[in-house]
A and B are shown apart, each in its own frame.
Chain A
Amino acid sequence: MKRIALPLLAILSLLVTGCAAAGTGDGLDPSKLTVYSSQHENITKAWVAGFTKQTGIKVQVRFGKDASMGNQIVEEGDTSKADVFLTENSPAMTTVQNAGLLADVSDSTLAQIPADRAPSNKKWTGIAARSTVLVYNPSMISEADLPKSLMDLADPKWKGKWGAGATGADFQAIVAGMLAAKGADATEAWLKAMKSNATVFQNNIVTMKAVNAGEVPLGVIYHYYWYRDQAGTKEGSGHTALHYFKNQDPGAFVSLSAGGVLKSSRHADEAQKFLAYVTSPEGQAVLSESGSKEYAVAEGVASDPALPPLDTLDAPKIDPFTLDAKKVAQLMTDAGIL
């Protein structure tokens, strides 16, 4: 009996160790700078390539989605392997900040961007920006009939007339902006109205295409999906136009993509250097020229020329670190949207 049992055990243990050590194991190399990124893959890769070329520092990236990656870092706590965290929207960064896991961003980095494009507590910095817009189908509604404010969409007369990617971090950041600007009661009422008025799509792209196809006349999205499609085939936006709410309306909310350095980083110097590069004129030029159509945020750096300048959008003034992702998730769950 033992003659069979022992070899079998040996094979089993070999397999187990083999599995753990195989190429599918945790591929992180502790000697490299580790970036956890929920920012677009192509922009992140372009930044990493530019940074390595300039400094010689090697970088590895783990990709994920805003909220789950933010929560993952919180779960990992002090033992997180992340040195730098980049997000698409700032609420995920606030989640990490509230867990006390962020180091201060170096002053030289913060000096590269205007004060209102980073939180007042200096725990992280804006690295790019995106504006909320209303995409509409001119064959279904004329410009004059558009709502004056994002808040108007709660009115029963817009029932069945609009859609949004409610389950994604992008839309939830917009709601967080509304929460900061208008308070919990107004936001709650608006979300309840949304539950009966709006069609929920998976994300911004699907929302835009639905408006384009005439499924709904209006959609709440971020600007750059539209500009990217316009620059390409116009397949998903050819029958649509954009409306900017301006007037510091919640619908003019500008969301900052955030970059931060983890307190637990074992490569703190390199991590700060990486953030300095991303917010430098070179790093921001990479963004402007990437075709991503996101706004550059650094002082004196021009965004993609196709976009209306960020300063002209008249966004509501909100200190971005006050954006409360958790409360938004709670309100949206209560409203029955999630």
Chain B
Amino acid sequence: MSSTLSATHRPRWSFPSWLVLLSAASVASLVLLPIAVIVSRGAGVGLEGAVTTLVRPRVGELLLNTLSLAAITVAGTTVLGVGAAWLVERTTLRGRAFWRSLLIAPLAVPAFVVAFGWLTLAPSMQGLAGAAVVTTLAYFPFVFLPVAAVLRGLDQAGEDSARALGLSAFATLRRVVLPQCRAAISGGALLVTLHVFAEYGVLEMMRFPTFTTAILEQFAMGNSATTGSLLACVLVVLCVLALAVERLARGTARVARTGRGTIRHGTPHRIGWWSIPVTAGLLLVLAGAIGVPVTAVLRWLSKNTDPFGGGLGMAVLATLELAAYASVLAVLAALPIVWLAVRGRRRGASIFERATYLASALPGVVVALAFVAVSVRFARGLYQTGFLLVLAYVVLFLPRAVVAVRSGLEHAQPALVESARSLGISSFGAFRRVVLPLMARPIAAGAVLVFMAASTELTATLLLAPTGVSTLATGFWAASDQLDYVTAAPYALALIVLSVPLSVTLMREAARKK
């Protein structure tokens, strides 16, 4: 056995490779199943049918709406996210720990609850402007988080050299600092774009039709197999394009430090009297993203004489249960995928990892549509069960688990295990005492991310929830769809309260990674 080890560098505590490969392949096929179903149903319509369905003014209108909202939201979140990150991490603005946690806090408020808040404040808010305000405020932490992390870790040396070579402060920012943030910005922008493509609740409330709202309309009319699938195909293409654009935008420049020596953390830029307007600006953003929805929820809640009636308790339980199963299953499903991507010896072993990203780019409604189609025909026993809904959550949120688990596995290097083995510990002992401790936190972070996403998911839940089961998100939706904001308020509050401890965990995790 020891000769095999030295010959192939294969760590002894690995699982049988066929088992890993088989599990990874089955996870990947589960993830790709929805796309296959949508595309085949779309193809089943035939070229002529597809052309008449897709080449018409309404589809052009939907395309224009979807793309213009994505463009405005990406621009808005980038300006807000990068600006706030720079102010917090690179200037003399006071109370950075305070700002850092507050600027992540909007993650705990689902976008449709933000929309609910704004509609309470301005009931006639609608269309592109209304939708863009809400999505920008709700999504900007997706850009803020990664950019702040990069700025926090930057080495001052690069900027010093630039200034010494005669560049102005602004040129230094543009030519030295921003390029290093490029990957973080484009990654955040990609997340924002995919969220805009998948968004339903906000847009339905703001009366701004996009592909996702149109697909749900077609489903409601029973046209999911034809028009619904074709529209979903267009959405799949948009998502693939967004992924491709992000790869280009990220660029290929190496930004990692290559030299030796310690990082010198920068001297923050002095902002002096600017701190007054800057503080006011940041407070304004936070008021819009957190203040408005929370005030609205409390205002409607105060009018509710029986906040715990109407099945709120059952909805909390169902949400907790579904999200818990989804987070555990997603982490388990991520393990073989990550294993192959990080330790796979063959070329192309990371193809499974890439595959998982594709399905997560799909809106929940598309995945749910496919699951309905497949289960009704081939797995009637699964149709309308909680298990099927959990599977849909796994497909939708697997990448969150993959990213987290991957960072853990990369830290658990084979050399550490080999050392443990050479010290006479059994293979299982090495796994338990070396690998597990290193991976436990990242795995937990991945589970938290999946849990948060699953507990606020709306469109897949609307289609797949079992009879009699309503979650916090669908309960909120049912009431707010009737403009019954008094009944909706406790659900919104429960969604926020549920997310707060989780986002605090994430914040600590993010702050720990200096």
- Whether A associates with B in a native complex is yes
Q: Which residues of A contact B (CB under 8 A)?
A: 1-5, 12, 15-16, 19-20, 22-28, 60-62, 65, 67-68, 70-71, 74-76, 79, 81, 95, 167, 169, 172, 200-203, 205-206, 209, 213, 215, 236, 325-326, 329, 333, 336-338
CB distance from B365 to the nearest CB of A (A): 12
- The 11 sampled A-B contact pairs (Cβ below 8 Å) are A12-B332, A19-B387, A19-B390, A24-B385, A25-B387, A62-B467, A67-B221, A68-B222, A172-B221, A329-B222, A338-B218
Q: Is the CB of A23 within 8 A of B317?
A: yes
Closest 7 CB pairs of A and B: A24-B386, A71-B222, A62-B467, A336-B58, A20-B387, A27-B468, A329-B221
- CB contacts under 8 Å to A, within B361-406, are 372, 376, 380, 382-387, 389-390
Q: Is the CB of A25 within 8 A of B222?
A: no
Q: Is the CB of B223 within 8 A of A24?
A: no
Known pairs A60-B467, A68-B221, A325-B221. 12 more at Cβ < 8 A? A4-B13, A4-B428, A15-B332, A24-B387, A24-B466, A24-B469, A62-B467, A67-B222, A68-B220, A70-B222, A338-B217, A338-B218
Contact among B224, B318, B328, B483 for A23, CB-based, below 8 A? B318
Q: In the complex, which residue of chain A has the Cβ closest to the Cβ of B222?
A: A71
Q: Is the CB of A19 within 8 A of B325?
A: yes
Q: In the complex, which residue of chain B has the Cβ closest to the Cβ of A68?
A: B220
User: What residues of A have a CB within 8 angstroms of the CB of B252 in the complex?
Assistant: none
Q: Is the CB of B57 within 8 A of A74?
A: no
With contacts A24-B322, A67-B220 known, is A336 near B56, CB below 8 A? yes
User: What residues of A have a CB within 8 angstroms of the CB of B348 in the complex?
Assistant: none
Is B418 in the interface zone, CB < 8 Å from A? Answer: no
Q: Is the CB of A206 within 8 A of B483?
A: yes
Is B214 in the interface zone, CB < 8 Å from A? Answer: yes
- CB contacts under 8 Å to A, within B301-350, are 317-318, 321-322, 325, 328-329, 332
Q: In whole angstroms, what is the CA distance A206 to B469 when docked?
A: 27
Q: In whole angstroms, what is the CA distance A24 to B124 when docked?
A: 38
Number of A-B contacts (CB under 8 A): 126
With contacts A329-B221, A338-B214 known, is A27 near B19, CB below 8 A? no
Instruction: Name, among A20, A213, A337, the residue most crowded by chain B CB atoms within 10 Å (CB to CB).
Output: A20
Contact among A5, A19, A203, A336 for B16, CB-based, below 8 A? A5
User: What residues of A have a CB within 8 angstroms of the CB of B15 in the complex?
Assistant: 1, 4-5
Is B8 in the interface zone, CB < 8 Å from A? Answer: no
- CB contacts under 8 Å to A, within B430-478, are 431, 466-469
Instruction: Name, among B220, B385, B468, the residue most crowded by chain A CB atoms within 10 Å (CB to CB).
Output: B220
Contact among A27, A169, A200, A236 for B467, CB-based, below 8 A? A27
User: What residues of B have a CB within 8 angstroms of the CB of A75 in the complex?
Assistant: 372, 376
Q: In whole angstroms, what is the CA distance A221 to B217 when docked?
A: 19
Q: In the complex, which residue of chain A has the Cβ closest to the Cβ of B220?
A: A68
With contacts A24-B466, A25-B387, A209-B483 known, is A1 near B427, CB below 8 A? yes
User: What residues of A have a CB within 8 angstroms of the CB of B14 in the complex?
Assistant: 1
User: What residues of B have a CB within 8 angstroms of the CB of A95 in the complex?
Assistant: 222
User: What residues of A have a CB within 8 angstroms of the CB of B218 in the complex?
Assistant: 338
With contacts A25-B385, A167-B217, A336-B57 known, is A202 near B481, CB below 8 A? yes
Q: In the complex, which residue of chain A has the Cβ closest to the Cβ of B57?
A: A336
Is B482 in the interface zone, CB < 8 Å from A? Answer: yes
- CB contacts under 8 Å to A, within B207-238, are 207, 214, 217-224, 227
Q: In whole angstroms, what is the CA distance A260 to B219 when docked?
A: 23
User: What residues of A have a CB within 8 angstroms of the CB of B325 in the complex?
Assistant: 15, 19, 22, 24
